[in-house]
């Protein structure tokens, strides 16, 4: 779960990390009032969760009311990399001499948190990591002790941060780790952490991503998620409603299966046999008939879909429940919207085959045959 910039900044500011004065606005008047109160120059920043907002025209630095009006009109309501901009953050511009990067993330290879500091802030840190890995100082943290004060200092000195601000940067890094730890962060980042000419540090951006699996013990953040919701397209919202792991792709062969690895494999086979996957949809383990029917509804909602392959290998998912769900979803149509190919294996597959209404679907025995058939149907559907 990703917090919006304004939410992450609030969390950071509450913990004592210096942030610029800012206000949230959702219309032009709101932007002008906020800018007046904060004092020009200000930055007007689109509140959508995509990287590279600046380059995409989602951030404007403005000197006066006229520029602020122009920026507000162009940014509010714009489409930024597929996301509709409803809100902007109006923020006092910081006069900086240096831009740093500080971040905490989980190093999955090591199974440990890692703190990172770099003097190459203000640019895409993943590019820095690729082109100049030495420019990022890393310090692994033992999660049973937390970050020792010396580790924060070491990361800051190793990165070559100017001595005049080293103490303040260490302090920001320490606070950031505590937040990451207390709030079940997956990533906590400040990029850039700006340094002013009088040696103050200030967080000009804020990233705080939370481990979805831990939201049950972070009620305050779960509430923020609800507030931040509404992003994403219609299909993604529907997937959220149904609680599916769903990813929309570009192709026209719809895919439904159980278990992430098997669904990914089904996608790969569609590609292997010359088709193009329309989506990833994992119904999860132990899905009952309702959920199976919802999955079909989900995939039929995508206009690009010309055929559907339903691939279930039951472990805790039962073939009879799957068959019931498929019947339930398809019997409500006078005409089946798109051809559906079904392959059932594993737990109760024979019971499932007895229940399944074979007038409504095409049945195949193996994964390979089912995928090839669905790809054929998709090609015919497109023609």
Partner 1 sequence: MSVLVDDDTRVVVQGITGGEGKFHAEQMMEYGTNVVAGAVPGKGGQEAAGVPVYDTVHEAVEEEDADTSVIFVPPAFAGDAIFESLDTDLELAVAITEGIPTQDMARVNKRLTETDTRLIGPNCPGLITPGEAKLGILPGNIFSEGNVGLVSRSGTLTYQVVDNLTNRGLGQSTAIGIGGDPIIGTDFVDALELFEDDPETDAIVMCGEIGGEDEEEAAAFIDDYVETPVAGFIAGRTAPPGKRMGHAGAIVSGSGTGTAESKISALNDAGVPVGDTPEEVADHIEEFLA
Q: Which residues are catalytic?
A: 101, 189
Residues near 80 by beta carbon (within 8 Å), at least 6 away in sequence? 46, 48, 50, 53, 56, 57, 58
- Residue 161 CB: number of other CB atoms within 10 A? 26
By CB under 8 A, residue 353 contacts partner 1: no
Buried-state track 197-215, b at ≥16 Cβ within 10 A, e below 16: eeeebbbbbbbbbbeeeee
When binding is defined by CB under 8 A, the residue of 16, 51, 146, 337 that contacts partner 1 is: 51
Three-state secondary structure string covering 230-248: CCCCHHHHHHHHHCCEEEE
| Smallest distance from partner 1 to CB 286, Å | 8
Q: Which stretch binds partner 1 (CB under 8 A): 65-73, 115-123, 139-147, 322-330?
A: 139-147
Work out which of 264, 336, 355, 363 binds partner 1, going by CB under 8 A.
Answer: 264
Which of the stretches 38-46, 87-95, 127-135, 194-202 binds partner 1 when contact is defined by CB under 8 A?
Answer: 127-135
CA distance 372 to 383: 17
Neighbours of 287 (CB within 10 A): 24
What is the C-alpha separation between 293 and 311, in angstroms, rounded? 14
Question: Under rule CB under 8 A, which residues in 97-116 are in contact with partner 1?
Answer: 106, 108-109, 111-113
Residue of the chain from 66, 134, 144, 303 that contacts partner 1 (CB under 8 A): 144
The binder of partner 1 chosen from 20, 257, 325, 339 (CB under 8 A): 257
Does residue 363 touch partner 1 according to CB under 8 A? no
Residue 167 in the binding site for partner 1 (CB under 8 A): no
Nearest Cα to 139, choosing from 126, 127, 157, 121? 157
The encoded tokens of residue 319 equal 């073939």
Write down the least CB distance from residue 110 to partner 1, Å. Answer: 9
Question: What's the sign of the alpha-carbon dihedral 333, 334, 338, 339?
Answer: positive
292 binds partner 1 (CB under 8 A): no
- Beta carbon nearer to partner 1, 89 or 312: 312
Tokens linked to 62:
């403005």
Residue 121 makes contact with partner 1 by CB under 8 A: no
Pick the binder of partner 1 from 298, 367, 374, 378 (CB under 8 A): 367
Among 27, 70, 184, 290, binds partner 1 (CB under 8 A): 184
Instruction: Select the residue interacting with partner 1 from 290, 346, 363, 379 (CB under 8 A).
Output: 346
Q: Which is nearer to partner 1, 77 or 82 (CB)?
A: 82
Interface with partner 1, residue 216, by CB under 8 A: yes
Alpha-carbon span 278 to 174, nearest angstrom = 44
From the list 279, 313, 315, 285, the residue with the least C-alpha distance to 297 is 279
Q: What is the DSSP string of 14-39?
A: HTT-----EEEESSHHHHHHHHHHH-
Residue whose token pair is 């290879």: 109
Tell me which stretch binds partner 1 (CB under 8 A): 79-87, 157-165, 227-235, 279-287. Answer: 279-287
Q: How far is the CB of 216 from partner 1 (least distance, A)?
A: 6
Q: Is position 236 an interface residue for partner 1 (rule: CB under 8 A)? A: no
User: Does residue 44 touch partner 1 according to CB under 8 A?
Assistant: no
Q: Does 259 bind partner 1 (CB under 8 A)?
A: yes
Chain-centre distance for alpha carbon 312: 27
Interface positions with partner 1 (CB under 8 A): 51, 106, 108-109, 111-113, 126-127, 129-130, 142-144, 181, 184, 186, 211, 213-214, 216-217, 245, 247, 249, 257-265, 267-272, 277, 280, 282, 285, 313-316, 345-347, 366-368
């Amino acid at each position: 779960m990703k917090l919006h910039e304004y939410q992450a900044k609030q969390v950071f500011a509450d913990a004592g990390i210096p942030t610029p004065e800012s206000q949230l606005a959702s219309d032009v008047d709101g932007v002008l009032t906020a800018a007046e109160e904060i004092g020009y120059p200000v930055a007007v920043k689109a509140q959508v969760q995509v990287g590279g907002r600046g380059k995409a025209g989602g951030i404007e630095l403005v000197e006066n009311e006229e520029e602020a009006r122009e920026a507000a009109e162009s940014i509010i309501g714009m489409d930024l990399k597929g996301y509709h901009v409803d809100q902007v953050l109006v923020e006092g511009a910081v006069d900086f001499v240096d831009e740093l990067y500080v971040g905490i993330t989980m190093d999955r290879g090591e199974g440990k948190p890692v703190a990172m500091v770099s003097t190459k802030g203000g640019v895409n840190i993943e590019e820095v990591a690729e082109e100049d890995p030495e420019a990022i100082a890393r310090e692994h943290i033992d999660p049973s002790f937390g970050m020792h004060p010396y580790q924060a200092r070491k990361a800051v000195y190793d990165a070559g941060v100017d001595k005049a601000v080293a103490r303040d940067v260490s302090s920001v890094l320490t606070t950031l780790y505590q937040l990451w730890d207390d709030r079940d962060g997956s990533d906590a980042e400040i990029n850039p952490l700006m340094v002013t000419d009088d040696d103050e540090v200030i967080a000009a951006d804020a990233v705080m991503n939370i481990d979805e699996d831990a939201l049950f013990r972070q009620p305050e953040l779960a509430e923020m998620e609800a507030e931040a919701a509404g992003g994403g397209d219609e299909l993604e919202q529907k997937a959220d409603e149904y609680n599916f792991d769903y990813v929309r792709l570009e192709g026209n062969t719809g895919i439904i299966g159980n278990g992430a690895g098997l669904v990914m494999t089904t996608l790969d086979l569609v590609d292997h046999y010359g088709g193009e996957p329309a989506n990833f949809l994992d119904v999860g383990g132990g899905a009952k008939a309702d959920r199976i029917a919802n999955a079909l509804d989900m995939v039929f909602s995508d206009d690009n879909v010309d055929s559907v392959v339903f691939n279930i290998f039951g472990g805790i998912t039962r073939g009879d429940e799957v068959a019931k769900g498929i019947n339930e979803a398809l019997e409500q149509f006078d005409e089946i919207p798109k051809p559906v190919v079904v392959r059932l294996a594993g737990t109760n597959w024979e019971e499932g085959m007895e229940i399944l209404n074979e007038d409504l679907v095409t049945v195949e025995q193996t994964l390979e045959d089912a995928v090839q058939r669905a790809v054929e149907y998709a090609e015919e559907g497109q023609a």
